[in-house]
Amino acid sequence: MNRLSYLFILMLLAVIMPSEAKKKKGSSVAPKGISERVDSLLQLMTLEEKIGQTVLFTSRWDVTGPVLRDGEEDAIKSGQCGNIFNAHTAEYTRKLQKMAVEETRLGIPLLFGYDVIHGHQTLAPISLGESASWDLELIEKSARMAAREAAACGLHWTFAPMVDIGRDPRWGRVSEGAGEDPYLGIEIAKARVKGFQGDDLADKETVLACVKHMAAYGAAQAGRDYNSVDMSERVLRETYLPAYKAAIDAGARTVMTSFNDLDGVPATANSFLLKDILRDEWGFDGMVVTDYTAINELIPHGVAKDEYDAGVLAMKAGVDMDMEGGIYMDHLKKAIENGDVAMEELDNAVRNVLALKFELGIMDDPYRYCDEEREKEEVLSAQNRETAYQMAAKSCVLLKNDNSALPINANEKVAVIGPLANSKRDLLGSWKAAGKPQSVQATILDAIIKNGGSENVTFSKGCDINTDNKAGFAKAIEQAKKADKVIMVMGEKWSMSGEAACRTNLDFPGVQPELIQEITALGKPVVLVFMTGRAMTIQKESESVDALLNVWYPGVEGGRAVADILYGKENPSGKLTMTFPRNVGQIPIFYSYKRTGRPFDPSKPKDTYKSRYLDVQNTPLFPFGYGLSYTQFEYSDITISNSELVSGNSIEVSVSVTNSGNYDGEEVVQLYIWDQVASVTRPVKELKGFKKVKINKGDTQKVNFTINEEDLKFYRKDMTFGAEDGQFTIYIGSDSDASNSVEFSLTGVKL
Ligand code: BGC
């Protein structure tokens, strides 16, 4: 391909279809005009060129899975590969883009994708941590920051948001999602898509979102990654699908298939998911990409006998782009020639890819995202660091604070102990994208010293994260004895959650539990700060320490944010978005469980033949929605505008929340509903609303919610989606254990 012929094609396209197209705001539908331009281009393409647009290869800049082949640069130049992931920086993407634009016959630019999950270089807390902020505006702002930075580094497309519901903390990937709840999952999915894509994809500061992993990946059996998923369609539709749909309704232009099979059909060959639901029911007209080599994996799944077969299955199921597997590249031509795949099927896939390239504006200006100046200004800017700091400060969850252990007074003598106190890398979490440990200006230890002064702070590592070496215990104990308070910074290493990082033991790893017991036995006030990407089993530690602060992997500004919380410059306001079990045997454990026919009543502990364990309570260690503040919030009784909700109308409920403590603070006021009798069993309660409110000390704020029939819908016995007349209980409070309640009835629903 030479420059002249490229210009010729562009001129031809310009004549056929003047680019008056403008993206419709907030819509998931390709803007008008683009489809005509796509069709014109398609007519010029050879079969090989079309197939090239369905191919996505990794660059060697980063590796996020097994690399199957070398030579992505040759594949770009020959037009065999139209899309690249794991490459970034303005300079490098420009270099690759040049190959596509100047050396292929049609000069169609590459699409660059990357896992920009919770920031590009300015990393915010991991996604599960962000979700614990319950702060939708800030979550959107964080995604916007990630998009701006990524776009300035040559990227067009992020493989996020991950919206898989996570109810099994053994599964390492719960760290990448928004926790266990569909309602919260929907709200966060929308916020993230809006943050990444903005209102206009043609805006150079936005990137394409990719909703992943479709579908139900979070329900992998026994919490083991890539494992099978088997669930009823009711659970699929009620619990797992809503967040994907919400992301698509919010405009997400791409979808990634999941690795798992669902009821016997791998997601990457699943036309029920990818066609019947995604395209036909939800009206998605964007592009579907596989997860990493997921087409190849149809062979070990046992539904394809060879690569050819796998490619045909995936294409016929509605997969547009093959990530890294090379199956479309190697086998689609033959499949078309044999008639196993229709040209129309391939054309549709290519259309979906090309439409994105037009929408992003790279067909007209292939280098618009490769801007070294913008990259310099944007990456790790003061403004971005401030967003990451805010996000970190708001996502930490205070789980216990007895004897006013926190906040710490700046003149107290503090012994800092633990293998994570002085770590930069662990602050970043597993999906660090282009983030670098050296961009961390302060570890938790550094920032504690900044707050308390080096004369008041000692440090010893005490032990490793995950070995049985106790050589450091003695020094740690010595230092603890001399201190007024001990801050232990413990937990899981960054690599112990994320993809392919599942655990069956969710205790603190290595000898950390022993060190915690030895230190707490000294009788000094102990504050345990812990990093994790999941809900952990920390019953013993939670009983023996005075204060417990979950900081997740808090990102590049996490050290500063955590220390500012410890010293009272920030008041914690995060709330758990995943239930913390007492032990692994309780898993899966989530707040919106079903009552069963033999519910256990804890006030009658001697009752037998009830749904209970002999060796542990049914209740979790910390429930969904739980999190403390340095201040206290008191809730009034709930007032309700009408105890009858007539179909088509709405009712108002409200509570007054008083900050009765000594600090200004923020509270997440949560509303749950129990549908008492229905045609199918219903959860004991479901989150249906929340508001994060700032209330200064001594002040009272009225918090209102509106409830209508929409909030009461579910999949009825006949699988139609709607509400049913009946009696409901509303709970409003500070976590999912809320017992402050009021009842109402719903009447007049037309069936
Ligand atoms: C992960 C995806 C990710 C992809 C590309 C896969 O292994 O499952 O979440 O987007 O790699 O890095």
Residue type for position 689: G
Residue nearest to atom 4 of ligand 1 (CA): 292
Mean pLDDT of 33-56: 97
Residue whose C-alpha is closest to residue 163's, from 288, 255, 271, 293: 255
Which is the closest atom of ligand 1 to the Cα of 259? 8
Q: Is the CB of 164 under 6 A from ligand 1?
A: no
pLDDT tens column, 647-697: 999 999 999 999 999 999 999 999 999 999 999 999 999 999 999 999 999
pLDDT tens column, 232-287: 999 999 999 999 999 999 999 999 999 999 999 999 999 999 999 999 999 999 99
Q: Is the CB of 157 under 6 A from ligand 1?
A: no
CA 617 – CA 611 distance, rounded (Å): 11
Q: Are 579 and 622 in contact (CB under 8 A)?
A: yes
Tell how far the Cα of 85 is from the centroid of ligand 1, in angstroms. 10
Which is the closest atom of ligand 1 to the Cα of 256? 10
Which is the closest atom of ligand 1 to the Cα of 65? 7
Tell how far the Cα of 114 is from the centroid of ligand 1, in angstroms. 9
Tell me what pLDDT residue 603 has.
94
Give the pTM: 0.96
DSSP assignment of 157-184: EE---B------TTSGGGGGS--S-HHH
CA 37 – CA 13 distance, rounded (Å): 7
pLDDT tens column, 311-353: 999 999 999 999 999 999 999 999 999 999 999 999 999 999 9
Which is the closest atom of ligand 1 to the Cα of 176? 9
Name residues whose C-beta falls within 8 Å of residue 613's C-beta, 6 or more positions apart in sequence: 585, 586
Q: Is the CB of 324 under 6 A from ligand 1?
A: no
Decide the pairing of beta strands 650-659 and 700-708.
antiparallel
Q: Is the CB of 369 under 6 A from ligand 1?
A: no
Domain residue limits, the chain? 390-586, 633-747
Q: Are 107 and 2 in contact (CB under 8 A)?
A: no
Class of CATH domain 390-586: alpha beta
Helix/strand/coil (H/E/C) assignment for every residue in 702-727: EEEEEEEHHHHCEECCCCCEECCCEE
pLDDT tens column, 579-623: 999 999 999 999 999 999 999 999 999 999 999 999 999 999 999
Is the pLDDT confidence value at 16 over 50? Answer: no
Q: Is the CB of 499 under 6 A from ligand 1?
A: yes
Tell how far the Cα of 372 is from the centroid of ligand 1, in angstroms. 27
For 633-747, which CATH superfamily applies? Immunoglobulins (2.60.40.10)
Domains 390-586 and 633-747 share a fold: no
Can you say whether the dihedral through the CA atoms of 137, 139, 145, 151 is positive or negative? negative
Tell how far the Cα of 151 is from the centroid of ligand 1, in angstroms. 19
Q: Is the CB of 64 under 6 A from ligand 1?
A: yes
Task: Give catalytic residue positions.
Answer: 291
Tell how far the Cα of 431 is from the centroid of ligand 1, in angstroms. 10
